[in-house]
Amino acid sequence: MKLDIASHQVLWNRLLAVVEEQGQALIRAAFSPIVRECGDISAGVFDQQGRMLAQAVTGTPGHINTMAEAVLTLRDYIQPQNMKPGDIYTTNDPWIASGHLNDFLLLMPVFYRQRLVAFTACTSHLVDLGGLGMGPEGSDIYDEGLLIPPCTLVQEGQINALLLDIIKANSREPVANEGDIYALSACCETGARRLTGMMDEFALTELDSLADYIINTSRNGCEQAIAQVPNGCYKSKLSIEGYESDIDLHATLTVNDRDIHLDFTGTAPCSAKGINVPLNYAAAYSVFAMRCIIGAHIPNNAGSLGPFRVSAPAGCILNAQAPAPVAMRHTIGQLTPDLVYGCLHQALPEKVPAEGASCMYDLPLRSTPGADISSAFALELVFNGGTGARPVKDGLSATAFPSGVWGSQVETTESAAPVLIHRRELRIDSGGSGEFRGGLGQRIEIEPSDDNDILLFLSVERIRYGAAGRNGGGEGAVGRIRLGEKAASLPGKGVVTIPANTTLIFETPGGGGFGSAHRRKVSAIDADVSEGLISESAARDTYPQWLAAGRRAKK
């Protein structure tokens, strides 16, 4: 049946509803708090060629954009002629799926009237896969847990019980892992059921025409948006702490009339520790950052992703090769948007925000070795810092950009692990000054709730290098981690023991400011002071116009 443009648009919108229901099925069925409370997932529908047609709104770019490529790889590996109705395939190979072992990718072929017409896919984070766990201490991928090559998880509707037993046997959280795998399967099945229901409702026998319309329309729109960016070659460098020593990330952004090439040549080599980043993950966040500025209104699919290409020398820290350790690949991978924006700002100076905290401030917690089995646990908490100020607005406080992973909730955390959260509040004066202020970080105070010590696996950035301002804006406050108010600051990476009756104080970074502080409106400064976002002393020292308007700091 030949469809007109209006019909294609109706069906496209329907696909968006399908994938959103698919994503919600995963969140509602998941066992792990990082999935059901934080939304660390992706879900999507793909055509029979493996091209992504639509993605759920809920999800992280590290899952969504890696999934767009992973489905193509997994489809070719399994081969369509070997697929049957009711099959579901899986892998957590970091170089296929989402960059580290804890993320499982599932792929389900969708059959309609005995013919393969599409695929559904999803990704989510499993809390523990054995090994050294979620931390940077591994020396290779084998230290970091159980690697599942591409294989069959469900065969014609029957679960692969042996595979599930192996996954459970290699985890400190076997029940959560089992529940999350069933939730992932339900996600794929929900998408497949809704997709074939749509085909029934609209009397479709195939999706090829709709797929071509979606991909061609999206690609054309993205190419038109790229054409508005001045052609040229733009370079940027970002210095970060790394693990053993400081690391320089380099980027060269080449803009042509219809496409963009990002290259990481010059970037430091891999670390001996698990902060290395597979290229699929670095590319996922880099392209997401560009898409936030270029054609942001165009839906994310194979068409709109097509004009962007990312490359890097093999063996650099943004193109780690197997079997490099990659457990904490998000620590550096989520800083690539700031690196990319350093290039893009040169081409579009009035559209690119200041740098932000960027990488998630993870708190992977675990019971100490030898703990009684009744008190053993593994849990990953997620917190965020402030985003960089935008060219016309303040930054957002305690907001997950670029990851989109929501912060862990107090009540859920305390019910899932033996911890007490005494305090969680915005961190005053942490946003960079400017005409538009950077977003604030937050302060979290956590203590073991029983007499047992807890292990913390740290891997964060912005401990020494704060988020830079843009166009004269001030730098955001750096992060800070301590065991007690008067204790010395801890390094950003390594294993830390939180003793019983000791409070971990965890302060996340603020975002950089945009524009000169002298241009900030007095009314905006008044609001910041009255709402407790900046102190009166900071207002006095940073914004002379505040004093000139007759304001005075309290003595």
CA atoms of 279 and 70, how far apart (whole Å): 12
- Whether 407 contacts 400, CB under 8 Å: yes
- Whether 474 contacts 513, CB under 8 Å: yes
- Whether 31 contacts 175, CB under 8 Å: yes
Helix (H) and strand (E) counts in the chain: 14, 19
> Among residues 201, 220, 239, which one ends one of the domains?
220
Decide if 468 is inside a domain: yes
CA atoms of 144 and 99, how far apart (whole Å): 12
CA atoms of 498 and 505, how far apart (whole Å): 11
Count of domains forming the chain: 2
What is the DSSP track for 125-155? E-S--STT-SSS--SSGGGG-----SEEEEE
Closest CA relative to residue 226, chosen from 298, 285, 312: 298
Decide if 248 is inside a domain: no
Decide if 357 is inside a domain: no
Decide if 131 is inside a domain: yes
CA atoms of 388 and 386, how far apart (whole Å): 7
Decide if 17 is inside a domain: yes
Strand-pair category, 247-255 with 454-459 = unpaired
Look at residue 550 in the predicted model and tell me its pLDDT.
Answer: 84
Give φ, ψ of 431 to 5 degrees. Answer: -80, 140
End-to-end Cα distance, the chain: 77
Range of the domain at 123: 5-220
Look at residue 456 in the predicted model and tell me its pLDDT.
Answer: 94
In the chain, the amino acid numbered 389 is A
Decide if 419 is inside a domain: yes
Residue given tokens 């049957």 in the structure block: 84
> Among residues 220, 245, 268, which one ends one of the domains?
220
Instruction: Chunk the chain into consecutive blocks of 10 residues (it has 555) and report each block's average pLDDT, rounded to whole numbers.
Output: 86 96 96 91 97 95 97 96 97 98 98 97 95 92 97 97 97 94 98 97 95 97 97 98 96 97 98 98 98 96 98 98 97 98 96 96 87 78 96 97 92 90 97 98 95 93 97 98 94 94 96 97 96 96 91 56
Hey, what are 152's tokens?
Answer: 């069959």
Residue 210: alpha-carbon gap to chain centroid: 29
Decide if 177 is inside a domain: yes
Supply the DSSP symbol for 81. Answer: G
Decide if 284 is inside a domain: no
In the chain, the amino acid numbered 412 is T
**Quick one: 244 exposed, middle or buried, by C-beta within 10 A (0-12, 13-18, 19+)?**
exposed
89 contact partners, CB below 8 Å, separation of at least 6: 74, 78, 106, 107, 108, 150, 151, 152, 153
> Among residues 220, 244, 266, which one ends one of the domains?
220
Query: How much is the pTM?
Result: 0.95
